[in-house]
Amino acid sequence: MVSPVAKGSEQALYAALLSRADENPLIQVELKPNGHASILLFGKVQKEVIADRLRREFQIEAKLSKTSPLFVQRPIGTGTAEQNLDPIRDNDFWATVELIVKSNPIGTGNTYSRDVLWWQMAPSLYRIIEAIIFATLKQVLHGGPKTCRV
């Protein structure tokens, strides 16, 4: 929810928000029955940018309520992918990598675990795989946070 700091500026705030929404299709504005404006954004950074632009371009100080996600992306089942590297065709090393993606309980975020013995891979490979997994899960595919176990 968004409301102006200065009482009586509700219409100006709503008009400014509509102007931002016309400029950016990822912003959706709705006027609630209580007179407060509600905005649908894709991320906290976008919220900060809106507040700054309202202040700079429209001279409107706005109070933005706490951000709350509309939905959290969770897998509805288990997904598996396996890649075998053949030392004869692909490179000088033989390796098999399998990823299993499952749903985590709501609110737990993303987790990663490995089901191999410590000596089966170099520690640097563990760290690289983990970093790539978390970087990929940070990509917001459909506008919401994810809750996955990999």
Q: Which CATH architecture has domain 2-64?
A: 2-Layer Sandwich (3.30)
pLDDT in tens, 116-128: 887 888 888 888 8
Please state the pTM of the whole predicted model. Answer: 0.47
d(CA 70, CA 42): 10
Quickly count: other Cβ atoms within 10 Å of residue 146's Cβ.
20
pLDDT in tens, 58-88: 998 888 888 776 666 778 888 888 888 776 7
- Output the six-digit token pair for 111: 């987790």
pLDDT in tens, 93-138: 777 778 888 888 877 778 888 888 878 888 888 888 888 888 887 7
What are the boundaries of each domain within the chain? 2-64, 79-149
